Structure 1
Amino acid sequence: MRCLTVVMAYALVLVVLLGALGRAGDALLASAFPSMEMVLEHEDALEQDDFTVLQSDAFRNCQIIIFNDGGTRLYATSEKVAGKVRASDLSLINDYDEDSFYEVFQERTEEGLRYRVLRCSYDRQDGYSKTVDAWCVLDEDLDILAGDLFADRGSLTQREFDLIKGVYDAQLTVERYDYVTVSGASRTLVLLAPMVSDVRYQQALDDAGRITLLGIPVMLVATGIAVWLLMRLVRRAARPLDAAIDAYRRGEGDAATSSQVPSELARTYDNFVDLMDQLAEARLERQRIIADVSHDLKTPLTVIRGYAQAFCEGRVPAEKAEDYHRAMYERASAAGDLIDTLFSYATMEHPDYEPHLVPADVCSLVRSVADDAAPAVEQAGCTLEVAAAGELRALVDDQLFRRMLVNLIDNAWSHNEPGIRIRVACEQGEGGHVEVTVADTGQGFSPELAARAFEPFVTENTARAAGGGTGLGLSIARRAVELMGGCIRLDDGPASPWSTVLVITLPLHAKEEKGSPAAS
């Protein structure tokens, strides 16, 4: 909330500053080219004959003169301007309300340059129909040649002609506004304003831009203050989080410690705790794997070393030599198999390992692996059944698939008593998947073992005696399936007579049409 308050305060400062700069720029442009609209913003004061409002800086670039209905000058911006416009000139100056106004047209004739002057007015009913009330034609010397406008005069002066055109001189425009005071007296206001030109307008824009530049230092200071406050607030808020993390590292973290962490950072602390717990579990798991591998290798190597030492010392009876040699061979083979299994597991777990996936008939692969595994199953006194008719295609790595399925079949007969049934099936599952199942009628998984069945070095042989297995078979099978884009699970409610059912799911791959390129 404090950070939000700082951000909102910073935004408010920027809004106020930008608004002030905008108003200052607009005021500068308006004062550079004052208009009658600006004057009429003070109409209430004018109707009270309060002329002090006309002395503000907004009107410093214009001249204002006010006459009463008798032609007496009541107000002038300065004595100098007082003589510029006389009461006799009022009839020649265009009315701001456009009730009566002049239009001047220039035309060339055979006799020379001519000016047509029209005095017009708008229809008061519809407000837009223009009516010509009077007119006259002037020559280039401003002598009146024809028309009823200025019928009592023979010519106009250049100054009078300029007033009719709305121009006082080369730099000023002129217009008048008639109004009535609250007391009912008539007043006429004459405004002399700077004439708008490209050069003057660009100069006014440059001046307004310089005002905007003055706001940049203020914005930088406000930004610096806001950043400093936010950094201070964040550091202050992070201190309880740092303290809680340090306490957790020292093993002193508890609910009271975590409650001191700001609510906005509580999720960060919880994620840190979860990550540290996962790292601790991974560290313990690594230590367990090292211990298990060491134990599994130490057992056969100890036997081999003991028998080898007996041979070296000549303590092996002749009649036992063959048995000792056979035992050494079996232990060496077991150690070699374990090392091969560890190598396969490590290879597949490496992040850079990429399987060679090709479209293949999974049913055909299942039948092939079952044929290769049948002799070992029969020698163990078990029965192998295969249900993999038809053709179902998926993207598989041939070697990974065979190793995975062999591991599952070997686990079934090697971890159960002779006489069990093993069934390997391949069929299309729901959702367009290929399902491969390996089921057996053995003793099944205990609840504790089922929860960790696919973790490495997990086995029912808790004493890790020789011949009890490495516990890597299911881990290798799981990783192989994942590399082929599938998943493996242990059915938690197998149908009778099966006690263990492992289900492998692979995405179904559409069969390519003849002549189409094979998928890679």
Structure 2
Amino acid sequence: MKRNKHKKGHFYWLLARNYISFTLALVISFSFIAIVATLRISGVLKNEENSTPDLYLDILKNGNYEDFPVEDLLDIDGSIVILDENLKPIYQSSDNINTTYSSNDLLLIPDYNMNSYTHAETYIDANDKERILVTSYVYKNKTAVNQELWIFDEQLNVIYNTRNINISTLTPLEFSYLTRNINNSFEAMKYSFKGNDGENYTMILLKSLINNKTLIKVSHTIKYTLWTFLILYLIMIICFIYWLHRKVNKPLALLDEAILNFSTGDYDMGINYSGPTEFVQICDNFNCMARRLSESEAQKKKLENEKKKILANISHDLKTPITVIQGYSKAICDNIIKDDQKDLYLNIIYQKSQSLTELINSFSEYNKLDHPDFKLNLTKVDICEFSREYLAERYDELEVAGFLLDADIPEEILTCSIDSFQLTRVFENIISNCLKYNPRETTLFFNIEKADDKVKLTLGDNGLGIPNESSEHIFEPFVVGDSSRGTKEGSGLGLAIAKKIVQEHHGKISLKNPPSQGFSTEFEILLPLS
């Protein structure tokens, strides 16, 4: 089977390929966005790690505490308090913050430059008493190098600590210093330095846990990342849907246009589409349907024209004998005709009525063959034996008419499924024409031979022959006499009926032009072997 060059693979493969491409594009886009977001977050965290009081030590040593970048180091709500050696506050960056710190407070507040992590949790000991466990880890190069444990009871009495600090009880504020969480709002850290005046100072740094600039930047980065991905995802979805719409809508639009043209009677406008196999197949099927309907419409018009022609011809052929019969019978009834001429007139009336009957019978048979309910009564018959019997029955008639018979029928059995009655009519119509239009001493030929999976029957004569201009229309209805043999006799439906009968047998009948040597007229009938 010839492959359709317009086909470009199955539609589901096209969907699969493009969906995979869409997924890969989505993954690549998301990966790119994630990488950019990760680099941005890493930059923010790196800036926070690199931002330490050590960078501003000169400001602290010179005592220019107002120039210390509190917000950059401690976020928006952060504050600092500078304490001298006696723990007396000498500077505070904002009002309403605690400026009173004891030596115990400084022991519990973690150092700023110490990368540590503190975790507090409650548990029930073996005596069913609630205890508080505080664990601190000190990290160096992301590895824990020191661990500190504190255990408290419900009143924050110190039960155990690994620092061997002589503290028996902590206040809630001191406990918040230890856990780096002041009222769930600030984280306290300390930084010690020596001023240019030789005095030792301690800076208390209060970093906001709520308005953490780093967390806000990270949160914004994540939010923008998600929004960017969502927008990109929606754009890609819209593009994919638009692409799918174009792929599906294009053949549907072509099909819709073709159907509209089809409804107006334009059957010749085919669909020229190149794309997925399924859509190409639909368009091809539509083109095939349109072509068949166009051929059917043309055939219908041809049949209608033939029917009109048949009606016109039969009206004409009926009119002539009826007019003669009416005129002659009227003359006899009015006693216009002499007595010695009445027999002649009656004989003419009888002959015309015979012609009229023949014409009506032929027309009736022709229409019956065209009826959808017409069916052959097929039986398997040896076509050679069947033909010999038929010729034997007609031999005497041919001899009386002065015609010769030359039959060449093989002895082998050639079986065909035929309707004996209808096939006999085919032979009768062809041979009757030979007898009607040829002079005496004309030889009739009847030959049978096997041709592959068919039987070829040859019927003809060496008489007057058929003019070339009439041979093309010989099987059309009402082709008689003056248009074929030079006379106007018969109904002109014999060969048309013969053709229909042969076609009903799934065979073929034709007039060979030019005929074979020795023939003037040669009909060839092909019938399938059973």
Corresponding position of 1:488: 509
Q: 2:421 aligns with which of 399, 403, 407?
A: 399
Structure 1 residues 483 and 236 mapped into 2: Cα distance closer, same or farther (>3 Å)? Answer: closer
> Within the alignment, does 1:86 sit opposite 2:139 as a pair?
yes
Structure-1-length-normalised TM-score? 0.52
Corresponding position of 1:23: 27
Q: 1:328 aligns with which of 349, 361, 374?
A: 349
The question of whether the paired residues in 1 share the 8 Å contact of 2:476 and 2:495 is answered with: yes
Q: 1:417 aligns with which of 439, 444, 449?
A: 439
- Give distance in 1, aligned partners of 2:270 and 2:528: 46
- What code does the residue aligned with 2:420 have? D
Corresponding position of 1:449: 470
The question of whether the paired residues in 1 share the 8 Å contact of 2:22 and 2:240 is answered with: no
- Give distance in 1, aligned partners of 2:346 and 2:491: 24
Aligned ranges 1:252-291 → 2 under 5 Å: 264=272, 281-291=302-312
Corresponding position of 1:154: none
Aligned ranges 1:336-415 → 2 under 5 Å: 336-390=357-411, 391-415=413-437
- What code does the residue aligned with 2:23 have? G
Structure-2-length-normalised TM-score? 0.51
Structure 1 residues 465 and 342 mapped into 2: Cα distance closer, same or farther (>3 Å)? Answer: farther
Secondary structure in structure 2 of the residue aligned to 1:496 = coil
Task: Give the gaps of 5 or more residues in structure 2.
Answer: 1-7, 51-111, 120-135, 146-228, 274-286
Secondary structure in structure 2 of the residue aligned to 1:86 = strand
Structure 1 residues 276 and 236 mapped into 2: Cα distance closer, same or farther (>3 Å)? Answer: closer
> Within the alignment, does 1:314 sit opposite 2:318 as a pair?
no
Q: What is the count of residue pairs matched by the alignment?
A: 341
> Within the alignment, does 1:478 sit opposite 2:499 as a pair?
yes
> Which has the larger displacement, 13-22 or 453-462?
13-22
Q: 1:459 aligns with which of 473, 480, 500?
A: 480
Secondary structure in structure 1 of the residue aligned to 2:446 = strand
| Residues 254-282 of structure 1, C-alpha deviations (whole Å, 9 max, x = no match) | xxxx9xx89949x9999998777666554
- What code does the residue aligned with 1:405 have? F
The question of whether the paired residues in 2 share the 8 Å contact of 1:382 and 1:419 is answered with: yes
1:471 is displaced (CA, Å) by: 2.1
- What code does the residue aligned with 2:329 have? A
- Give distance in 2, aligned partners of 1:271 and 1:297: 37
- Give distance in 2, aligned partners of 1:322 and 1:218: 98
- Give distance in 1, aligned partners of 2:28 and 2:39: 24
Aligned ranges 1:22-421 → 2 under 5 Å: 22-23=26-27, 52=40, 54=42, 86-87=139-140, 90=143, 264=272, 281-390=302-411, 391-421=413-443
> Which has the larger displacement, 465-474 or 444-453?
465-474
The question of whether the paired residues in 1 share the 8 Å contact of 2:359 and 2:490 is answered with: no
- Give distance in 1, aligned partners of 2:362 and 2:118: 111
> Which has the larger displacement, 467-476 or 390-399?
467-476
Structure 1 residues 21 and 327 mapped into 2: Cα distance closer, same or farther (>3 Å)? Answer: same
The question of whether the paired residues in 2 share the 8 Å contact of 1:438 and 1:502 is answered with: yes
Structure 1 residues 349 and 274 mapped into 2: Cα distance closer, same or farther (>3 Å)? Answer: closer
1:350 is displaced (CA, Å) by: 2.3
- Give distance in 2, aligned partners of 1:283 and 1:508: 34
Corresponding position of 2:461: 440
Secondary structure in structure 1 of the residue aligned to 2:466 = coil
- What code does the residue aligned with 1:367 have? R
The question of whether the paired residues in 1 share the 8 Å contact of 2:511 and 2:523 is answered with: yes
The question of whether the paired residues in 2 share the 8 Å contact of 1:296 and 1:464 is answered with: no
| Residues 29-55 of structure 1, C-alpha deviations (whole Å, 9 max, x = no match) | x99xxxxxxxxx89xx9xxxx964647
- Give distance in 1, aligned partners of 2:114 and 2:528: 96
- Give distance in 2, aligned partners of 1:308 and 1:74: 143
The question of whether the paired residues in 2 share the 8 Å contact of 1:449 and 1:460 is answered with: no
| Residues 338-373 of structure 1, C-alpha deviations (whole Å, 9 max, x = no match) | 111112111122233221111101112212222333
| Residues 186-215 of structure 1, C-alpha deviations (whole Å, 9 max, x = no match) | xxxxxxxxxxxxxxxxxxxxxx9xx99998
Task: Give the gaps of 5 or more residues in structure 1.
Answer: 32-40, 60-64, 67-72, 93-207, 249-257, 510-520
Structure 1 residues 330 and 263 mapped into 2: Cα distance closer, same or farther (>3 Å)? Answer: same
1:234 is displaced (CA, Å) by: 7.4
Secondary structure in structure 2 of the residue aligned to 1:471 = coil
- What code does the residue aligned with 1:392 have? L
- Give distance in 2, aligned partners of 1:369 and 1:75: 126
1:314 is displaced (CA, Å) by: 2.0
Q: Give the CA RMSD over aligned residues.
A: 5.4
The question of whether the paired residues in 2 share the 8 Å contact of 1:486 and 1:505 is answered with: yes
